Structure 1
């Protein structure tokens, strides 16, 4: 059984102005003059939320003030060098790519190496009871397809998606769904992706057929494999909106992919933001940062810092944190939900 709780903690003083939202987000902490300190709060994991957590790092650390000796916040990207040393004195580990890999790395190490994991999925079978999922934003997942010359239609149903990823007879050509004739190429992100596991569950957990290709990094529309008129690929709606808002890199970009409707409901509003009605349905999901429950409740420097960053009265749930969340394309959670905790 899952248990959910929301606890009030002392609020962090907000010293950074909202203009900090426009500041360029930092890259890997390895670009700093030195690695994060042993006491700093450091995480890794989900591709979906890495850009937003990078921005949180910039703005939260600025809020502490110059010369502050309090723990700072840092987050490692999902892709880059094969291995990382997250902070001073840490073990060198394989870079966690995806929600599942981040949670595995959190569980396989101590706070001397990692303090949290970014996760775009909720708790699931196989997670530890000590994994505490701390909510901070709302997202949704839909399917994407190439815009220029693409063969896919504007809408598919949940059953259509189930059949396509099952490679069912009669579901292998776009003409069967009102699109232009062309053999459908169903792609999925790499196996540890939270977006992948969420999407497959939402469409009914099909047994994947031989036509399905696994491999592209999630939410990277510029991947050459996706530059194909017949490809279908799940995509985070919030991440796509953030990319449309200019939060991009050479690889972290929507490219020529556009988001499509499911069951007749559009993932985007007329102004290009995440459609709350779409996010309220089957394809909506809460985003989390995962911590160890004993550290979350501890009266240590680390426990205090974790709550000051991720908690109900922490920085991410503050006005400044929510401004970052909105800028990066996600929906903010109400006060009763932001910073709430869930576990298996």
Structure 2
């Protein structure tokens, strides 16, 4: 029987993956068990959740009050989502970070110039997302902190060097090293069925040095050799339009839409949208604005493609990208 998991379940699952402390993970896992549909198709998943809950409760109890403020080594999450750049040595990760954000990483022709993760903020249509460059992955060279970053990312951008004949083999090794650590590059994020030790992370392939004739051939070689149906973006990092296209592809891959809010009787400010997941509702937007607003929400007025201009809708109305919403 199919599991038929709900959006509420996937929201709780994402909160679990993004949690930075054992206590936060425990709360998210309890929410996953609360909202998961209860039928035979989810019996194994429910069992896995209960098993993990038992472990987490023991972990939280062992921390005690003295260590309840446990700190995570992860970067604070910024913007509407986190995109982690990974790849073999010299595949252009640092150059992407430099061109797409205001960060100033070391960009060098020699391998392993990136010694530790470096964050930056990329902007697309008034929305910011976090972009993190990471040290290179190679055979038996996998920085421990990198796995945690990848497993908690909203999106992974795996870089291939469009000028190198070795890049496909090296990137297959990157995939294998991650898979050996129960971290899989995939088309969607989530845990493997009834296995909360194996994580699937939504990913795309960025082929750098895309201005070279070899880039398209290398992209096809990767597709044939890997057997993975991941989206591929070929980008020339000397071209501002290519960099912008890559940023747009990253934002779209986060699975978010932009929503503009306005107060009754006032004009909308079109340079500061909020973001909610694709398929998100008026209630999701209200919750994003403030929990109290969501609890007191009576109705909303919407301008945009999901309604006729000024239409009065309820809290379960599904919004579209670019909608303007007035909460009442």
Structure having the higher strand fraction is 2
Q: TM-score, normalised by structure 2?
A: 0.24
Higher share in helix: 2
